[in-house]
Amino acid sequence: MSVTGSFGSFEVLPLPAEVVISHPAWSSNSPLKPDKSIYSARKPLAALTVPTQIATFSYDANHVLRYDDSSLRYFVEPQKGADLEMEFEQWPGPEEDPGRLDSLLFAYMREVDSGKDLEKPNVMTWRGMMTRIVTALYERRDSWEMNAMLVDGTVYLEDNKGHSYVNETVTGYTRGIKNIPTPQRKLMYTGYAFESYCTADGPNQTVSTQHEPDVNTNMQWCSIVQTSIGSSKLVLGGEVDCVRGAYKGKNGNYVELKTSGAIKNVKDERNFERKALKYWAQSYLLGIPQVVVGFRSSRSPYILETVQTFQTFHLPRLGLNAGWSATACLNWTNAALEYIRERLASEGRAVQEEAKMFRIMFRPGEGLQVLTLADEHALAIQNGDHVERVGFLPKGYWEWVMRRRGTTIL
């Protein structure tokens, strides 16, 4: 693969009643506009270099972090006609993910301390955050917000999952997984059930023998890659569903698993081609060469009808009919990253505070903005859990960065 994140809806947590915040205003004159015509024609073209894996880690059945490959899964062919709703009534739903960078940062830190020669990145984040940026050019519905910091030349991006309100009109953040209506929860479950039918503990099994799904969303196997786009060097982490065949320590045989409604007519076909944009971006960013899609029946009860494998590199061909361009996405991403880096550097020089936090805001059709967070916002984010933090970075990682730079820790 010469060049190669999805995101969900999470609950907004209201601030305590005694906290009063004046919200930063959204300007209608956004500095970075998502103009498709500009980024489709821009030259020289931006490109993503081959993502190279630098580390892996696992979450076990209890979602405990392990620096090993114990949660690695292997692809098997699922049985057609598999019941994608089985055991749904017993499913408690996935745990809310706080979106912190901690596991990514500490895994990266371990690799550097082990002696691995890694170039310092300009941007470090989860691939889900990068997927948002890559696909923003064609986003017509969902707004999003990220928290950002610039520390020792590296921009850190984390999801803003309701630690504070900046703009209460952000869509996709107001309901939370637990409050999603049953029909939508059932559709979500079919994806996890499909993953269960498609995976096994070892590489020797080729066809699934499962007659019911075994869904445990606590277990995850994650890959960390380094890559670059334009002048921005990236370190990205993300979950990998499974590998095809033997695991060789590289991402050349990784598989992304997806579900979609069966294609019955031209409208269904166009809808799938639009969805392929996120399939492509999510897989491309981690260097995953294949996407296996399970097509389910159009109505409940949901049954697995057909399975098709798509090469990630070929998915942009589907965009020709759906109106999206991979080239335009990469050009936009290059511009967006340069804009974010420049704005954070400029604001950081003004405040002369390396732990300062920023908010990146995107509105469909309007564009991208970077705002400096007020202290009240920053405090709500920093104190959003029981981990001691500098900004939103865990203190242990922050001090590691400072020591490597030669800064004395008091």
pLDDT in tens, 397-408: 999 999 998 776
* pLDDT at residue 358 tops 70: yes
In a domain, 40, yes or no: yes
Place of tokens 């089985």: 86
- What is the count of structural domains for the chain? 1
Residues 36-72: pLDDT tens digits? 988 988 776 788 899 999 999 999 999 999 999 999 9
Residues 214-258: pLDDT tens digits? 899 999 999 999 999 999 999 999 999 999 999 999 999 999 999
* pLDDT at residue 292 tops 60: yes
In a domain, 80, yes or no: yes
* 376 vs 158, more confident: 158
In a domain, 13, yes or no: no
Taking each helix axis from N to C terminus, what angle separates 395-405 and 102-113, rounded to the nearest 10 degrees?
40
In a domain, 157, yes or no: yes
**Lowest-pLDDT range, 96-110, 121-135, 184-198, 339-353?**
339-353
In a domain, 135, yes or no: yes
Range of the domain at 159: 36-405
* pLDDT at residue 155 tops 50: yes
Whether the CB-CB separation of 134 and 286 falls below 8 Å is answered with no
* pLDDT at residue 13 tops 50: no
Per-residue confidence (pLDDT) for residue 268, from 0 to 100: 95
In a domain, 48, yes or no: yes
CA distances 349 to 153, 284, 365, Å, are 12, 34, 30
In a domain, 299, yes or no: yes
In a domain, 20, yes or no: no
Per-residue confidence (pLDDT) for residue 25, from 0 to 100: 52
Per-residue confidence (pLDDT) for residue 354, from 0 to 100: 72
